[in-house]
């Protein structure tokens, strides 16, 4: 059975960025003790449990919905829905004295303001890579490309 993923391009590290790419939340948690004490965690509510055992860090956990898992001992949950501006993200980083950002590589421009704010503040960013695609999956970047793929599959099936 054909399998298609509609997936916008991931983010790319640019000049001034201090990125540490990791494969998953557990690897991100292992990287943190060397990077900073005050962590801005922007991975949504899933995966937060990977950070529960880190007592040496304080976490600002931003999510749309409350996490339903064990949380790190020292944390603040900040429920909010973006998009956010670079100025808003910069104010948040400064007001919470954040010294490291953890985020998923979701790509797109609606959530990249935090990356620009981290770059401006010279903060390290732990970027959790996207999971690998299933074997044989095809990828397109736009809805128009997905429709074209479907048309081609439908016309080839006759």
Does residue 12 lie in a domain region? no
pLDDT, tens digit (0-9, with 9 covering 90-100), for 23-35: 999 999 999 999 9
Environment class of 110 (CB within 10 Å of its CB; exposed 0-12, middle 13-18, buried 19+): exposed
CATH number at residue 40: 3.40.50.720
Instruction: Categorize the per-residue pLDDT at 3 as very low, low, confident or very high, splitting at 50, 70 and 90.
Output: confident
Identify the band that residue 158 occupies on the pLDDT scale cut at 50, 70 and 90: very low
- Predicted local distance difference test score (pLDDT) of residue 157: 61
Does residue 148 fall inside a structural domain? Answer: no
**Range of 44's domain?**
18-131
Is residue 56 included in any domain, yes or no?
yes
DSSP string, 48-104: GGGGTT--S-EEEEEESS---S---SSEEEEE------HHHHHHHHHHTT--EEEEE
State the total domains in the chain. 1
Segment among 40-44, 71-75, 132-136 with least mean pLDDT: 132-136
| Secondary structure letter of residue 129 according to DSSP | P
Count of helix runs (H) and strand runs (E) in the chain: 4, 8
Residue 157 within any structural domain of the chain? no
Residue 45 domain flag: yes
Residue 13 lies in a domain: no
According to the model, what pLDDT value does residue 48 have? 94
In this prediction, residue 6 carries a pLDDT of 86
Q: How confident is the model at residue 111 (pLDDT cuts 50, 70, 90)?
A: confident
Domain-located, residue 32: yes
Does residue 7 form part of some domain?
no
Check residue 153 and give its pLDDT. 83
Whether residue 56 is predicted with pLDDT greater than 80 in this model: the reply is: yes
């Amino acid at each position: 059975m054909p399998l298609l993923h509609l997936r916008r391009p991931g983010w790319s590290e640019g000049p001034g960025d201090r990125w540490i790419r990791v494969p998953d939340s557990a690897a991100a948690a292992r990287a943190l003790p060397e990077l900073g004490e005050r962590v801005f965690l922007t991975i949504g509510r899933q995966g937060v449990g990977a950070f529960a055992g880190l007592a040496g860090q304080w976490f600002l956990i931003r999510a749309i919905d409350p996490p339903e898992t064990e949380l790190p001992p020292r944390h603040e949950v900040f429920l909010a829905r973006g998009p956010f501006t670079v100025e808003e993200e910069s104010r948040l980083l400064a007001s919470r004295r954040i010294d490291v950002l953890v985020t998923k590589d979701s790509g797109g421009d609606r959530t990249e303001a935090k990356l620009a704010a981290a770059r401006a503040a010279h903060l390290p960013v732990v970027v959790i890579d996207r999971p690998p695609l299933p074997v044989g999956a095809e990828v397109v970047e736009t809805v128009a490309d997905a429709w074209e793929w479907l048309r081609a599959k439908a016309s080839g099936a006759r």
